[in-house]
Amino acid sequence: MTIEEALVEYLESNSTLRALVGTNIYPQVVPPNVTGDTLVYNRISGMRDEIMGQPGGVSHHRIQIDCWSDSYSGVRRLANELRYALNNKSGQWGTVEVQCCMLIDEGDNPPDYTPDNSRVESYSVRQDYEIWHSEEI
């Protein structure tokens, strides 16, 4: 199981997040015709530890998660719930043992406007997490 698969499974198991986004958790982009609050994740970077030139079985990855909603208050609520679910968490996520998940950066993304620029279509907040976890060798 990859860290991304483990992350999605962990997020989908959180009842508060599930009530907000359902299964709207996607890699890299929001698919066409998806409506409602949504989470989008991207692996920004990663390192694998080595011990004496051999894989050590521990990795740390920076994962960015973008929260999307049709209102600013909605996206702030979603971002707060995501932070409550992930920041400083550890434990078993699927088959991956997470040693630590830390929020290392957060900010608002520019809003998306309708094609004619007449109104804001959606709001977004990005959160970057560093996740230390076990990895199969």
Mean pLDDT in the chain? 89
Q: What are the backbone dihedrals phi and psi of residue 12, each rounded to the nearest 5 degrees, phi first?
A: -65, -20
Domains contained in the chain, CATH given: 3-134 (3.30.2000.30)
Element (H, E) at 111: strand 96-113
In tens, the pLDDT along 62-100 reads 999 999 998 999 999 999 999 999 999 999 999 999 999
Look at residue 114 in the predicted model and tell me its pLDDT: 60
In tens, the pLDDT along 4-57 reads 999 999 999 999 999 999 999 999 998 888 889 999 999 998 776 666 566 667
Cα distance from N-terminal residue to C-terminal residue, the chain: 12
What is this structure's pTM? 0.88
Cβ neighbours around 102 below 10 Å, total: 14
